[in-house]
């Protein structure tokens, strides 16, 4: 572990496995996503009382080191369910995940977050992430305390979700295996 | 429709068919790939309430016909299951036809179905719906089109028909299940006087009106104030598109699944696809991009970024016979960059992809 990552491990775990409810899982997120988030915390586009100051402790080359270290940690495999495996979903949460709700211009989550929300590039993995973290993020998108999405796409989608949909989606992704 | 009208429509239709049959086609031309990706005609935008709303997929009936409709949906959203067979790139139909082909102004299937068969002056031929779908496979999917009457084309036709007919039936309050059609009927498309349509709908819409349902195609936008510029488009791309489509247009793959579509390069649509035209891409982008937002870009930005995307190498036009300039003169007299020289290499000089 790079020295610069030791402070992070206090909340995110030595292998970035996350410590609920102090810090979300970092393993399974891409290095470029983690890097980008550190920068967003530093510039205040993501606001969080703990992560704001913590992000400031990581500077220069350390940003890349820390990101690479945590993104390369092992994470549970998820069985991928791709769009088109099923035509209709009885469960409204699954329907949102795999088909979206275009009446409200909500696309399927998996379009950007990948099959089973596996994530990649600038799109975070959702599968197996802590439910309360996922919920906090969707709410942060809604209130605007989290920004940094291109053209406000995620903020726009989150704004359209109801409180119970946020609960159900957070639960759904956290328990995906 | 009264009897006289019926006769007139039938007569007009026959004239078209005979014109096509008797048009002189040399043997060489007959074996050539036809240009089946003619420029889409768009219809003016209208208030959202006017768009057809297909029934929920959950109401597709059990049984053989329903199975075809369901297979059509599955192929449409996961076209990659045909990779290396009928599909030669990393795209899925639903990349451009949003919401599984149900989104108005993103070339919805429910409107396309009733626009075929269509007579095309360009190849002097009547194109059935399945022939149009074959064009999608040949060009947009850079693959080998499934044969006429194949399960894939029947399924995609069935899905398109079901979306369109269920939407029409709900709009004109026709109760009951969508009438089941034979494979032979399905693949022709719905723009024909003899196409079976419930009487109420027949009274409400002529065949021509049915072929121009609000929301069809991509709505056209005004010409840009300044001539479109790939250089300016590059800046737009970096700011708005790169996160999803990659710094080199390569898209994003996640766990082996092509999640976000490549826009140029060997895994995208080829030089025969409609989307390689700058205007078509600009219309699509302005209306539908950024994803699930649309209308974030100015008219000028949409044109510029469309130019930038189409100013790169992509798979060869399947009609290529070894002569870029010749093909350019024959098929590329429109807003596009085929045959143009960009930083020392000629666009369209890439080899065809063997698959």
Residue A177 has a pLDDT of 87
Residue B19 has a pLDDT of 42
Q: What residues in chain B have per-residue pLDDT under 50? A: 1, 7, 9, 14-31, 352-355
Question: Does the CB of A148 have a partner CB in chain B at under 8 Å?
Answer: no
CB-CB contact of A19 with A13 (8 Å): yes
CB-CB contact of A81 with A118 (8 Å): no
CB-CB contact of B82 with B144 (8 Å): no
Domain B57-211 carries which CATH code? 1.10.760.10
CATH 1.10.760.10 in chain B: give the residue spans: 57-211, 230-347
Interchain proximity A106–B99, CB inside 8 Å: no
Residue reference for tokens 């399974």 = A28
* pLDDT means over runs of 10, chain A (177 residues): 95 97 97 97 96 96 97 94 93 97 96 95 97 98 96 96 98 95
Residue B17 has a pLDDT of 42
A11 annotated ligand binder: yes
In DSSP notation, B55-91 reads: PPGGGSPSSHHHHHHHHHHHHHH-GGGGBTTTB-SS-
Which residues 91-120 on chain B approach chain A with CB closer than 8 angstroms? 94, 98-100, 102-103
Question: Does the CB of B325 have a partner CB in chain A at under 8 Å?
Answer: no
- Give the tens place of pLDDT for each residue, B40-93: 666 667 665 689 999 999 999 999 999 999 999 999 999 999 999 999 999 999
Chain A partners within 8 Å of B91 (Cβ): none
Residue B294 has a pLDDT of 80
Comparing C-alpha atoms, which of A55, A38, A172, A46 is closest to residue A109?
A: A172
pTM of the model: 0.90
Residue B343 has a pLDDT of 83
Q: Report the chain A residue with the minimal C-alpha distance to residue B104.
A: A102
Residue B50 has a pLDDT of 86
Residue B10 has a pLDDT of 52
Domain architecture of chain A: domains with CATH: 3-72 (1.10.760.10), 92-175 (1.10.760.10)
Cα–Cα dist A14/A116, whole Å: 26
Contacts of B339 by beta carbon, 8 Å cutoff, 6+ apart: B324, B325, B327, B328, B332, B346, B347, B348
Alpha helices in A81-162 (DSSP H): 92-98, 109-113, 131-143, 153-160
Helix A153-160 to helix A131-143 angle, to the nearest 10 degrees?
100
Residue B210 has a pLDDT of 96
Between B58, B74, B240, which is nearest A151 by CB?
A: B240
What's the CATH class of domain B230-347? mainly alpha
Residue B37 has a pLDDT of 62
Comparing C-alpha atoms, which of B335, B331, B337 is closest to residue B36?
A: B331
Residue B31 has a pLDDT of 46
């Amino acid at each position: 572990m790079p020295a610069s990552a030791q402070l992070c491990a206090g909340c995110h775990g030595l292998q970035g496995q996350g410590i609920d409810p102090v810090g979300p899982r970092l393993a399974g997120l891409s290095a470029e996503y983690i890097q980008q988030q550190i920068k967003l915390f530093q510039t205040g586009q993501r606001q969080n009382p703990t992560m704001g100051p913590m992000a400031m402790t990581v500077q220069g080359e350390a940003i890349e080191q820390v990101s690479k270290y945590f993104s390369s940690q092992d994470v549970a495999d998820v069985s991928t369910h791709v769009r088109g495996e099923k035509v209709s979903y009885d469960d409204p949460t699954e329907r949102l995940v795999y088909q979206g709700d275009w009446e409200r211009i909500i696309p399927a989550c998996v379009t950007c977050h990948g099959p089973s929300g596996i994530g990649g590039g600038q799109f975070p993995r959702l599968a197996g992430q802590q439910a309360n973290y996922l919920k906090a993020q969707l709410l942060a998108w809604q209130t605007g305390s989290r920004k940094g999405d291109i053209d406000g796409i995620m903020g726009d989608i989150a704004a359209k979700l109801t409180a119970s949909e946020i609960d159900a989606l957070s639960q759904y992704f956290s328990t995906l295996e | 429709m009264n009897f006289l009208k019926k006769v007139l429509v039938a007569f007009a239709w026959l004239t078209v068919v005979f014109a096509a049959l008797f048009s002189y086609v040399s043997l060489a031309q007959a074996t050539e790939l036809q240009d089946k990706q003619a420029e889409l005609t768009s219809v003016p935008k209208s208030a959202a309430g006017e768009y057809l709303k297909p029934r929920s997929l959950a109401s597709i009936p059990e049984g053989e016909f329903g199975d075809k409709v369901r297979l059509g949906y599955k192929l449409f959203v996961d076209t990659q299951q045909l990779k290396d067979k009928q599909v030669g790139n990393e795209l899925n139909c639903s990349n451009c036809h949003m919401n599984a082909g149900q989104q108005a102004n993103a070339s919805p299937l429910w409107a396309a179905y009733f626009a075929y068969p269509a007579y095309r002056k360009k190849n002097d031929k009547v194109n059935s719906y399945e022939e149009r779908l074959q064009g999608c496979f040949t060009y947009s999917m850079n693959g080998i089109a499934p044969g006429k009457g194949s399960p894939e084309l029947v399924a995609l036709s069935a899905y398109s028909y079901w979306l369109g007919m269920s939407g029409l039936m709900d709009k004109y309050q026709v109760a009951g299940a969508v009438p089941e059609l034979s494979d032979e009927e399905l693949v022709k498309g719905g723009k024909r006087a003899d196409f079976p349509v419930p009487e109420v709908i027949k009274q409400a819409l002529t065949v021509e009106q049915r072929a121009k349902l609000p929301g069809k195609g991509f709505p056209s936008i005004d010409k840009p104030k300044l001539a479109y510029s790939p250089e300016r488009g590059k800046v737009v791309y970096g700011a708005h598109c790169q996160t999803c489509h990659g710094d080199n247009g390569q898209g994003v793959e996640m766990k082996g699944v092509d999640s976000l579509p490549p826009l140029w390069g060997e895994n995208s649509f080829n030089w025969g696809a409609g989307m390689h035209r700058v205007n078509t891409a600009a219309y699509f982008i302005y209306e539908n991009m950024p994803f699930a937002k649309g209308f974030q870009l100015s008219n000028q930005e949409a044109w510029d970024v469309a130019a930038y995307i189409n100013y790169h190498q992509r798979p060869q036009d399947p009609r290529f016979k070894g002569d870029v300039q010749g093909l350019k003169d024959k098929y590329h007299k429109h807003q596009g960059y085929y045959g143009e020289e960009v930083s020392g290499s000629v666009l369209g000089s890439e080899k065809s992809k063997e698959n």
